[in-house]
Chain A
Amino acid sequence: MQAAWLILGNDLRQRSRDRSIWIMAIAAPLALAAVFALTLPDVNQGIDPPRWVVVDEDGGTLANLFTAFALPIAADGLEATISVVEDRAVAAARVADGTYDAGFVVPAGAGDTGAGPVVEVLTVQGRLIQSLVAEAVARAFAHGVEQVLVATAAAEELGASASELQAVPGIAFATALPATIVEVPAADRVLDLTTFLSAGMAVMFLFFAVPFGVTSLLEERSMGTLARLRVAPVPAWSILAGKVATSLVIGVASMGSLILATSLLLGASWGDLLGVASLVIAGVVAAVSLVGVVAAVARTPEQASVAQAILAIVLAMFGGVFFPVSQGPGLLRFLSLLTPHAWFLRGLGDLAVPGATAADVAGPVGMLLAFGLGGALMSALLGRNRILAP
């Protein structure tokens, strides 16, 4: 066992000298988190309150109804900015210069049966989400107006009083606006977006970090030092154990750095510390083991490097790092379960439930360790005659 520690210490010293350990365990995770912090600055801040401008060209009650009633309902829960201007051109200019997200014009004669559109929408190309929201609000209002007209006509037919007829629009709009903006509290989500992105990035990065240990066997073979290790009076397994330990240390260090950096820079909430630690260690074991399969079959360090990059990307794709496979077809969802990435993300999702502890991730941790065991067996089977051959 002492030989394994010596080999671990020797590997870490070499990785420190060539700076690769500092790059993989600290610099790269910090850089990744910093890039994410710059590109996704408000990803965890929720939805910005909408800023809308309204033009009343009709001068009737419909515009008042839209401004005072329909828009606040649509912006339910958010402090929307709703301004009214006189001129369509002014509104369009304000939307164009970004003062407002979108504009609504209630044209003259709006609401008259068959007179044309009830509300027109002013949007700017490139602001897709704001445009879609504004269009949905306008469609819902138009639908509401139609319902009001139908409801009012029906109430008149039934002999409703004047005060009852006045209440009809409110009742109709209260049930007719399906498009409202609602902020879901983070605690109720399976995994918030920042943490999902951070976790995906971390588990993919792991497959680039851990090869430093196990594939250094290939480098040692090409340098001739593997023969020296094999001639030393130490059991062969201790050489392998030292290399695996190097991968484990680098993997855990890089994951730890990423978790710390994304928590501090992005506000990612990873969940219960013990649960996260269990997932990280199990994930690193799985990654080391699968990378070990590559080391077992590759003939040169260069060949291993290419194969590991392909493995990392393919597993990340099917594991749901780049897009949520849970919303994909059944086959894709099934394939994702064959990757450690999916189980790692699933485990973090389990930890995102309020009050979740390490016990709640026993399933994903077990699956990750199973990947580790499977990879180790496969490595032993494929590389039994050559992984330590000098």
Chain B
Amino acid sequence: MNIIFGVVFFVVLAAAALLGACAGQSTLVPIDPPPKSAFAAASVERGAQLAAVGNCNVCHTASSGRPYAGGRPFKTPFGTVYSTNITPEPDTGIGRWSEAAFVRAMREGLDREGRHLYPAFPYDHFTRLTDEDLKAIYAFIMTREVVRAEGRANELRFPFGFRSLLSAWKLLFLERGVFQADSSKTAEWNRGAYLVEGLGHCGACHTPRNRLGAEKKREHLAGGEVEGWHSPALNAASPSPVPWTAGQLQMYLATGLVDGHAITAGPMEPVVHNLSAVPERDVRAIAGYLAAVAGAPSERRQKKARDALAHAQREMAAYPLRAPADPSVAAEAGQRNRSGESIYFGACAACHDRGREATSEGALHLALGTVMTLPTSANLVRIIMTGIIPAEGEAGRFMPAYANELTDAQIRDLVDYIRAYFARAPAWDDVEAEVKKVREELSAANANAGG
């Protein structure tokens, strides 16, 4: 994404934008903030469950900020967008938004005054929601604690600060319309599709985006990125050494941990935290639909899975582990990388090689973990450097951060060793760049805290 491209984009689409601007987007009449008693308790409760699936709180709450008061930054290739205050506060929140204004925002990406909203707000998904669900979410949001918090101005590169450009974006990429059930599928499949493609907006992170920031329709759930993390492919390209079953997906979504696959980290943590409060049948529907998206594993995939399981079993049989159990792989991974091997045995093995089960007393066994097989080292580097630390005051699984304990070169050696030994895959070529990126983020966080 360069400036020339930005200018071309601007020129080509300015006309369309003008058209959009001429068509005019009306301001909807402000209302007096409705009292909590205006909403039926049942509706609010339903809205709470829907809002949990939609993760409204995740994006609309700043770190150590008040719930739904906005202000969380989102770095995009176009600049930084800040989430808005969606508490029912009349002046800085959405207290003066009627139900019609809320429904329009969710479906059309327009605020009450008719201004275009940036698609960091996933209205391209929320447009699938039913009237009934939107009304319940409105009831839930409008009964949250009122917080007065001015929005932060976005910091977007030219020309992306012009919101009228978004009318062109919508022309190109926004497919409006409520979810239509597929009568050839089961009710559970349809429920899962509705939640995944609509409210849950899984594709917002798990589908790659094009140069204009829209999800690539032909690479649906093929793996994307969010906040410096890789979001693994959920379709047939899933990088998991052993294919996920619907049951395992359900357990992962509800608890954040499935032995032999993954433990949640990074941006997926709050998603799982929300899903832990969603009715089991909905989580089951989501898992079932995602398993269907991935499809039955191919013969080749199954062979790879048998291979990975055999590797892991040889590993586990070697407990207590003091040296790699598989001599052929060990010879290759270890000879090339004695330093990484020694760091692994000193810093990681104490948890990851004890018990061999990802229970609360042991850690994920790396030979079957998904992170080791991703196309980028981003997630493994981040987990090693920043750990898995539960949010302040929240229960959660823990892994210490090693950013201070290890040098950049040691982290690189460790990542190379883990990749070679556990995933038995060619070395990543982006490790140094990823380590540097995380270092910069950590020192920026230090600098911010000093301000």
Whether both chains belong to one complex is answered with: no
Q: What is the interface of chain B, defined by CB distance below 8 A to chain A?
A: none
Q: What is the interface of chain A, defined by CB distance below 8 A to chain B?
A: none
